[in-house]
């Protein structure tokens, strides 16, 4: 025994020299109330390192863990009604769980007392959904981008459908006022709805007194309807009266009041002033009131709208154009377009011919396409015109390639299509193989008219390239190149540049045309032909003597030359901004303008 005791004492003595690490219990291993643990459970009493500290990123809760027991933490021990993220409601859940799952806590612990959780019907674009909460209805409006109405008074799907139906009928209100409405509209004014029944129905005489049937006609949308003595819409004109609504397509087929916009008829006033299906196509001989055109009576001192008669020319040599149809026109009707030509888009709009000009200088032109359409059971040609850019400047590039030779396909392709009808370039095979614009450009000289050009003025324009391919410029090519005028056959390249000078003065002053069918006159432009009468003198009293110096290459309207100083022997002297000009004649009697100098 003594030996055993001695052995134990020795062992204890030896162990006293061995270092021992005593691990203290860390605060991290103590239990806390986790509002959410790593397993997804809410309000659990567990170790602190098991708490999920990443939830509630918006910090809607005051804490994420507590050293108190969960039964002592208010967000865990007070059950509330939670409006869930999808709009449904859950009772008796903790505020921590409600927020953690994306819901919205209410101030009540009972969902029946929360307004957001009241059930009813949600009407989405006129369609009923039941049952739904107010929150679900709001979410449906956001998700479907639709108009919604929430009605908590609805207790069944059948009640919702009956109350919000789009069916039409007679709505009877308390003061015996009766009018045609939908079931939904009648419900909103607390009326008594009689579905499918006209307010003039004899069976309603007791509640809708004094209403007489089919007294007049009115337009509703595109159709002609009869209306009762109180202005309530009844049936399409032509439907036999029986006191009930007949508004289906099968009810209206073949009836005189059933207009069809796609076939060119719509409700309007006929020649007698009555409502009827009128033809809105454009036909030769039809008349219409044109906006801005009036006839004035001097005797009566009054004006009335002028009625315009449609002609065959207006319709592009057609007898009829259908509503919505459009077509191309010019004020000359000649190809190639002569100087001053303007393109227009004509269109038939509700029986009227509308005109849209595309500009004087033909930077844009009109192109159209014809397709077949079925109208009123017949296959007809239907034309559609559009504004397009004029590619005239591309045509002259033909032959700029490696072989320096202009070919037919290259020419047509530069004009946008290998189809000769569609291409804006014309390939000439009359022995010269050149590529010309189908629609010659107009020439804009607005910028150049700030001063009057003299004989040294250089025109950078398309007329100057006349004769490019053959060293010979003829009248046809000159016309194709643009607004070039007074051409003389057989000129050389140099002479072609000279007399092919543009008549931009016409387009610049806008005096060449006033619209299709309204051209009254054009300015007559005289070009000089050498020799010219330079050195001619004009002596004016009180002003002095003026000497003609150089001839201007193209004649201008006199009002652009400035103030008239005087005249002698048929020659006039003008002054504009310190410059002098003299009008005279060349040896062949053509009008010319000279720069002049005062002696």
- Between 17 and 281, whose confidence is greater? 281
Asked whether residue 13 is assigned to any structural domain, the reply reads no
| Nearest alpha-carbon partner for 199 in 215, 187, 188 | 215
Cα(219)–Cα(231) distance, integer angstroms: 12
Position 503 scores a pLDDT of 29
320 and 356 together in one domain: yes
Distance, first Cα to last Cα, the chain:
160
Element (H, E) at 379: strand 378-389
Mean pLDDT of 427-442: 76
Read out DSSP for 307-360?
Answer: EEEP-TTTTTS-SEE-TT-EEEEESS--SSPPTT--EEEEEEETTEEEEEE--T
171 and 89 together in one domain: no
Position 213 scores a pLDDT of 92
Asked whether residue 85 is assigned to any structural domain, the reply reads yes
- Kindly report the average pLDDT of the chain as a whole number: 76
Residue 84 has pLDDT above 50, yes or no: yes
Cα(225)–Cα(56) distance, integer angstroms: 63
Cβ–Cβ under 8 Å, residues 528 and 592: yes
Indicate left, alpha or beta for 175 from its phi (over 0: left) and psi (-120 to 50: alpha). Answer: alpha
| Nearest alpha-carbon partner for 508 in 553, 464, 577, 560 | 560
Cα(45)–Cα(36) distance, integer angstroms: 10
Asked whether residue 502 is assigned to any structural domain, the reply reads no
Indicate left, alpha or beta for 589 from its phi (over 0: left) and psi (-120 to 50: alpha). Answer: left
Among the residue ranges 125-139, 259-273, 328-342, 344-358, the one predicted with the least confidence is: 328-342
Cα(320)–Cα(301) distance, integer angstroms: 37
Structure confidence by residue, pLDDT tens digits, 85-134: 888 899 889 999 998 888 989 888 788 888 888 889 998 877 788 999 98
Asked whether residue 415 is assigned to any structural domain, the reply reads no
Read out DSSP for 455-522?
Answer: TT----SGGGGTTTTTS-B-HHHHHHHSSB-S--TTB-HHHHHHHT-B-HHHHHHT-S-SSTT-----
Element (H, E) at 247: none
147 and 240 together in one domain: no
Asked whether residue 494 is assigned to any structural domain, the reply reads no
Asked whether residue 503 is assigned to any structural domain, the reply reads no
Give the confidence band of 82 by pLDDT, cuts at 50, 70, 90. Answer: very high
Which of 389, 420, 439 is the last residue in one of the domains? 389
Cα(36)–Cα(44) distance, integer angstroms: 7
Among the residue ranges 316-320, 349-353, 403-407, 494-498, the one predicted with the least confidence is: 494-498
312 and 349 together in one domain: yes
- The single-letter DSSP state of residue 6 is H
373 and 298 together in one domain: yes
- DSSP lists the bridge partners of residue 343 as 330
Asked whether residue 129 is assigned to any structural domain, the reply reads yes
Cα(496)–Cα(461) distance, integer angstroms: 13
Give the confidence band of 201 by pLDDT, cuts at 50, 70, 90. Answer: very high
Position 485 scores a pLDDT of 47
Cβ–Cβ under 8 Å, residues 582 and 571: yes
579 and 593 together in one domain: yes
| Nearest alpha-carbon partner for 360 in 507, 514, 503 | 507
Q: Which residues of 202-234 are buried (b: 16+ CB within 10 A; e: fewer)?
A: eebeeebeebebbeebebeebbbbbbbebebbb
Indicate left, alpha or beta for 195 from its phi (over 0: left) and psi (-120 to 50: alpha). Answer: beta
Structure confidence by residue, pLDDT tens digits, 267-287: 998 878 899 999 999 999 888
Position 37 scores a pLDDT of 92
Which of 343, 373, 389 is the last residue in one of the domains? 389
171 and 270 together in one domain: yes
Mean pLDDT of 372-398: 87
Question: Which tokens sit at 92?
Answer: 């008796």
376 and 294 together in one domain: yes
Position 303 scores a pLDDT of 63
Torsional sign, CA 549, 550, 551, 554: negative
| Nearest alpha-carbon partner for 480 in 322, 341, 275, 330 | 341
Structure confidence by residue, pLDDT tens digits, 499-540: 222 323 222 223 222 233 222 222 222 233 333 467 888 888
CA dihedral 443, 447, 448, 449 (to 10 degrees): 100
Mean pLDDT of 141-158: 85
Host domain of residue 313: 287-389
Asked whether residue 460 is assigned to any structural domain, the reply reads no
Specify burial of residue 406 (Cβ count, 10 A radius: 0-12, 13-18, 19+). buried
Torsional sign, CA 419, 421, 424, 430: positive
Which of 245, 279, 313 is the last residue in one of the domains? 279
Count up the domains in the chain and report the number.
5
147 and 213 together in one domain: no
Torsional sign, CA 123, 129, 134, 137: negative
Position 335 scores a pLDDT of 58
275 and 183 together in one domain: yes
- Between 276 and 19, whose confidence is greater? 276
Mean pLDDT of 188-210: 91
Give the confidence band of 332 by pLDDT, cuts at 50, 70, 90. Answer: confident
240 and 170 together in one domain: yes
125 and 89 together in one domain: no
């Amino acid at each position: 025994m003594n030996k055993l005791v001695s052995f134990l004492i020795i062992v204890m003595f030896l162990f006293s020299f061995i270092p021992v690490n005593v691990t203290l219990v860390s605060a991290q291993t103590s239990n806390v109330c986790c509002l959410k643990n790593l397993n997804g459970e809410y309000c659990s009493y567990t170790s602190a390192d098991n708490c999920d500290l990443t939830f509630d990123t918006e910090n809607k809760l005051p804490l994420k863990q507590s050293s108190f027991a969960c039964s002592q933490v208010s967000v865990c021990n007070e059950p509330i009604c939670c409006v869930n993220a999808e709009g449904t409601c859950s009772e008796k859940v903790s505020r921590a769980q409600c927020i953690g799952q994306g819901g919205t806590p209410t101030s009540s612990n009972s969902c029946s007392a929360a307004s957001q959780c009241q059930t009813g019907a949600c009407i989405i674009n006129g369609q009923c959904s039941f049952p739904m909460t107010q929150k679900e209805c709001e979410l449906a409006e956001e998700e479907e981008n639709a108009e919604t109405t929430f009605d908590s008074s609805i207790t069944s799907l059948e009640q919702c459908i009956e109350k919000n139906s789009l069916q039409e009928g007679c709505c009877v209100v308390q003061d015996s006022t009766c009018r045609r409405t939908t079931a939904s509209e009648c419900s909103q004014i607390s009326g008594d709805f009689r579905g499918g029944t006209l307010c003039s129905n004899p069976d309603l005489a007791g509640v809708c007194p004094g209403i007489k049937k089919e007294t007049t006609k009115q337009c509703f949308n595109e159709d002609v309807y009869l209306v009762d003595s109180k202005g309530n819409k009844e049936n399409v004109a032509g439907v036999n009266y029986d006191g009930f609504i007949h508004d289906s397509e099968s009810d209206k087929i073949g009836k005189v009041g059933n207009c069809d916009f796609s076939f060119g008829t719509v409700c309007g006033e006929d020649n007698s002033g009555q409502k009827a299906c009128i033809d809105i196509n454009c036909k030769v001989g039809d008349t219409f009131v044109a906006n801005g055109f009036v006839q004035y009576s001097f005797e009566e001192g009054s004006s009335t709208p002028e009625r315009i008669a449609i002609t065959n020319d207006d319709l592009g040599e057609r007898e009829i154009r259908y509503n919505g149809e459009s077509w191309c026109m010019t004020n000359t009707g000649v190809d190639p377009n002569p100087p001053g030509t303007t393109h227009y888009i004509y269109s038939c709009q509700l029986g009227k011919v509308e005109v849209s000009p595309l500009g004087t200088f033909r930077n844009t032109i009109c192109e159209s396409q014809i397709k077949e359409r079925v109208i009123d059971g017949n296959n007809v040609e239907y034309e559609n015109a559009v504004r397009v850019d004029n590619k005239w400047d591309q045509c002259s590039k033909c032959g700029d390639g490696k072989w320096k030779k202009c070919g037919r396909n290259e020419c047509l392709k530069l004009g946008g299509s290998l189809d000769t009808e569609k291409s804006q370039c014309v390939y000439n095979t009359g022995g010269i193989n050149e590529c010309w614009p189908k629609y010659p450009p107009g020439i804009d000289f607005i910028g150049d008219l700030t001063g009057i050009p003299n004989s040294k003025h250089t025109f950078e324009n398309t007329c100057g390239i006349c004769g490019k391919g053959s060293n010979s410029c003829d009248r046809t090519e000159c016309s194709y190149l643009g607004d070039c005028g007074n051409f003389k056959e057989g000129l050389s390249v140099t002479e072609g540049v000279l007399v092919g000078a543009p008549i931009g003065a016409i387009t610049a002053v806008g005096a060449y045309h006033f619209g299709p069918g309204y051209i009254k006159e054009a300015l007559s432009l005289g070009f000089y032909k050498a020799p010219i009468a330079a050195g001619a003198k004009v002596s004016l009293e009180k002003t002095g003597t003026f000497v003609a110096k150089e001839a201007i290459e193209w004649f201008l309207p006199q009002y652009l030359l400035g103030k008239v100083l005087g005249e002698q022997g048929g020659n006039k002297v003008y002054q504009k901004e310190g410059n002098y000009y003299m009008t005279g004649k060349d040896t062949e009697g053509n009008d010319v303008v000279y720069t002049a100098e005062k002696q």
